[in-house]
Amino acid sequence: MQKTIKWIHTHKTLPLKQTDKQFEKLEKKLLHYMGRAIGDYDLIKKNDRILVCVSGGKDSFTMLSLLNIMRRRTRVPYEIFAFTLDQSQPGWNDTGLRNYFEQNKIPFEILTKDTYSIVKDKIPEGNTYCSLCSRLRRGIIYRYAEENGFNKIALGHHRDDLITSLLMSIFYNGEVRSMPPKLLADNQRQIVIRPLSYCQEKDIALYAKMKQFPIIPCNLCGSQENLARKKTRRLIESLSSENPKIPSNMLHALQQIKPSQLMDKRMWDFKSLEERIKDSDRESKTN
């Protein structure tokens, strides 16, 4: 049986400035929530080889930074390898990204594949790029992981991504689904993990700012303002301004599914409820 990693969090003892204390508190909070997600869903095991997908955005930078801290602190060995896909977007500059990997002694590869031209050619102006872009990117990532012997693929989706995806799926696809913290990849050969599943985007944004990550902006989805995802996120933000518990309640809802209170006939046998009454009556008479 594989051993689940036990996370060890160390604490500084030197006097800290106020900004240092704020940073330490924030990093500790993010490590706590990442550790909880890893423990709750058994995301990382001994000797895992994890392909950490780093897009150059705040989320993936934060995920990589925290995973690297945890890797150094844990007694149970696992391997991380940073993978970045250069999609040949105009203005792409990965100099800061390469420096970050090298300075932090993180093994990496930046692979160039011109998916940008494919997306721009296939998707009419004004339509959403995300679906095709993510599909192409996902195929390249899975292939790279398989060819290089990685058994886990880490993605930087956080709590706000999960709950936004839930509402989008309900509104636009007519399904109750989201992004699970752990799932089997499409090729059935790797496990996809989302270690930031419990972390809030506002904490990640502040952490990235304080760490001064060399962020690389996205010129595809980042340039589209009227995306359904952005509209859905604004709705959640508007509701949470009145009730701050709404985002955490939505995340909790993803963990508390009650099939008998929904309408999916595959998950609940509605037709046999009358028989249950009869069985209950017979049992009560027998007793």
Whether the per-residue pLDDT at 280 is higher than 90: the answer is no
Rounded Cα distance, 42 and 182, in Å: 8
pLDDT in tens, 34-66: 999 999 999 999 999 999 999 999 999 999 999
Helix, strand or coil for residue 48?
Answer: coil
Whether the per-residue pLDDT at 71 is higher than 60: the answer is yes
Contacts of 197 (CB under 8 A, 6+ apart): 37, 41, 157, 158, 159, 162, 179, 181
Query: How high does pLDDT run on average in the chain?
Result: 87
pLDDT value of residue 9:
40
Whether the per-residue pLDDT at 10 is higher than 60: the answer is no
| DSSP for residue 172 | I
* pLDDT range class, residue 2, cuts 50, 70, 90: very low
Contacts of 58 (CB under 8 A, 6+ apart): 204, 205, 208, 213, 215
| DSSP for residue 52 | E
**Domain layout of the chain by residue ranges:** 18-256
CATH number of 18-256: 3.40.50.620
pLDDT value of residue 4:
45
Whether the per-residue pLDDT at 7 is higher than 50: the answer is no
Per-residue CA distances from 116 to 53, 95, 174, 187 (Å):
18, 20, 30, 23
Rounded Cα distance, 119 and 214, in Å: 25
pLDDT in tens, 104-123: 999 999 999 887 777 766 66
The structure's pTM equals: 0.86
**Angle, CA 221 vertex, CA 218 and CA 223 arms, to 5°:** 75
Query: What does the pLDDT average to over 231-253?
Result: 96
Rounded Cα distance, 247 and 15, in Å: 35
* pLDDT range class, residue 131, cuts 50, 70, 90: low
Rounded Cα distance, 144 and 155, in Å: 15
Look at the block and give the residue holding tokens 């419990």: 198
pLDDT value of residue 158:
98
Rounded Cα distance, 5 and 76, in Å: 6
pLDDT value of residue 135:
79
Where is pLDDT greater, at 87 or 222? 87
The one-letter amino acid code at 214 reads P
pLDDT in tens, 147-175: 999 999 999 999 999 999 999 999 999 99
pLDDT value of residue 14:
43
